[in-house]
Chain A
Amino acid sequence: MNIVVILVLTAIGIACGAIIYLAYVKIPHKVKGLEKIEEISNALPGMNCGACGYAGCFAYAQELAKNSDLITQTPCAVAMQDPEAVSCLEKALNISLDTSALCKKALIHCGGNSEVLYNYDGIQSCKAAARLGSGYKKCPYACLGFGDCVAACPQGGISIDKEGGIAVIEQGLCTGCGLCAAECPQGLIELVPAGTKVAFRCNYQPLRDIPGREKCEYGCIHCRKCFNACKYEAITWNKEKAIPEFDIEKCTLCGKCIEACPQHTLAFFTPVRTEAEPALSQ
């Protein structure tokens, strides 16, 4: 008796699956342009994160089918990470894409280590903490470490480092959707090109008139040592902000600037780890 039930259920399940498959293959495409939309939509990640600004991946695919320039104006950051998806999109849209410029990763401009200014015991959220005098840390631009970005990440790619008390992004999981950047009340998260080699882990700028060294032993003190250390002219000095800017093309990952930095503000962005790089948890 029980066997019959199992057999009937299995048979119906298999039949339903087979019919759906047959329908997918056999139903003719009578609507013009729909095949193209489906092809584009199959190349997209299908997670419907909405970071492109459309209601979902299918809505984005519909717009892409009408106007293929859209892929460079509001690129799907997630698809750009996946070489296979990119080649499918290139084929579907009949264009060639420069992924190094379009593919983004999230970077947190904070190395932690700012001293504590007062004991915060309120709502455990960065947004709430940031309202009380720019947070409980001495540096008003520091990562507050309550993990508003952790909750926003659909990939589970952000965690809070227990020792350093700051958010850490697992670059392998980051799809560059930018949902975390919108959440951070301190504006610490920036979407940078995926080829970025050196991470500048400080958000302090002298224009805001707060001395770096007093507030945080790892904050940028604008000494220009990194600029002078680079033999490949990969670093230019932004005089307005008094911070270094990095040229991805010229950087050879030699690590001299990271060694030279007296404050350990600089670190390797991607998993290349050497002795010179201070661990994020310091």
Chain B
Amino acid sequence: MSNLITIFITMALLNNFILVKFLGLCPFFGVSKKLSNAVSMGAAVTFVMVIASIATWIITQYILIPFNVVYMSTVIFILVIASLVQIIEMFIMRTNYALYSAFGIYLALITTNCAVLGITLWNITEEYNLLQSIFAALGGGVGFTLVLAIMSGIRERLELSDSPKSMKGLPIAFLVAMLLGLAFSGFGGII
């Protein structure tokens, strides 16, 4: 159990997808203007990460390793994740429309999100078992949501702040991202 918690915290803070591994940067700047959007996006990413981790773990164990084609995992995982997200989206749309509108467009956007592909490949390189993969994905998703929420909170205030004209919008957001990255590097030694 302590092992699982370690994996969770490592993925959420130490190996944070956005600020340490630099994966999923498009939503980091694209969807971090409003707190509500950022949380929706984060929830969708966490959800897809967990589902994708389970699916790719099964495929790795029962198809890739027996046939000795693990080196093709990137291509296969892209395919699997894309179809998986399509099916999930269709399922949610037809069974629970309120949830579908809450996820909004983000679920479809995640099909090509590199953070989701990143977690599945990370699970292989670290040779996690199924439970560990799920916790790693949960941690990654929570870390992603956390950074997106922090960033959107800051950017909502930045909109009102009196920054130089040439720095308004994305430039100041990049600077803030740098400071956030420095802050997160402080987690480096805790485990």
Contacts and interface: CB of A to CB of B under 8 A. Distances in A.
A23 B69 contact: no
A32 B142 CA distance: 33
A30 B94 contact: yes
A19 B63 CA distance: 17
B90 A24 contact: yes
Interface in A4-25: 4-5, 8-9, 12-13, 16-17, 19-20, 23-24
Interface residues of A, number: 18
Interface in B129-149: none
A34 interface: yes
A271 B19 CA distance: 59
A272 interface: no
Interface in B32-79: 59, 63-64, 67-69, 72, 75-76, 79
Main SS at interface, chain B: helix
B80 interface: yes
B69 A31 contact: no
Nearest to B84: A16
B94 A34 contact: yes
Contacts of B96: 31
Contact of B72 (A8, A23, A28): A8
Given A12-B80, A20-B86, A34 B67 contact: no
B95 A23 contact: no
Contacts of B75: 9
Nearest to A55: B105
Contacts of A9: 72, 75-76
B83 A16 contact: yes
B83 A20 contact: yes
A28 B87 CA distance: 13
Given A8-B63, A8-B72, A13 B94 contact: no
Given A31-B94, A34-B97, A13 B79 contact: yes
B83 A19 contact: yes
A5 B63 CA distance: 11
Contacts of B22: none
Interface string B87-107: 100110111110000000000
Given A4-B69, A9-B72, A29 B94 contact: yes
Given A5-B69, A8-B69, A9-B72, A23 B93 contact: no
Nearest to B100: A31
A123 interface: no
A249 B64 CA distance: 68
A8 B95 CA distance: 33
A16 B56 CA distance: 13
Nearest to A33: B97
A272 to B, nearest CB: 45
B35 to A, nearest CB: 21
B71 to A, nearest CB: 9
A13 B59 CA distance: 13
Given A5-B72, A9-B75, A30 B95 contact: yes
Nearest to A28: B94
Residue among B75, B83, B93, B96 with max Cβ neighbours from chain A (10 Å): B83
Given A4-B69, A5-B72, A8-B67, A16 B79 contact: yes
A47 interface: no
A34 B72 CA distance: 39
Contacts of A23: 86-87, 90-91
Nearest to A5: B69
A209 to B, nearest CB: 43
Contact of B80 (A16, A27, A34): A16
Contacts of A13: 79
28 contacts: A4-B68, A5-B69, A8-B63, A8-B67, A8-B76, A9-B72, A12-B59, A12-B76, A12-B80, A16-B82, A16-B83, A17-B83, A19-B87, A20-B83, A20-B86, A23-B91, A27-B90, A27-B91, A27-B94, A28-B94, A29-B94, A30-B94, A31-B93, A31-B94, A31-B96, A34-B93, A34-B94, A34-B97
Interface of A: 4-5, 8-9, 12-13, 16-17, 19-20, 23-24, 27-31, 34
Interface of B: 59, 63-64, 67-69, 72, 75-76, 79-80, 82-83, 86-87, 90-91, 93-97
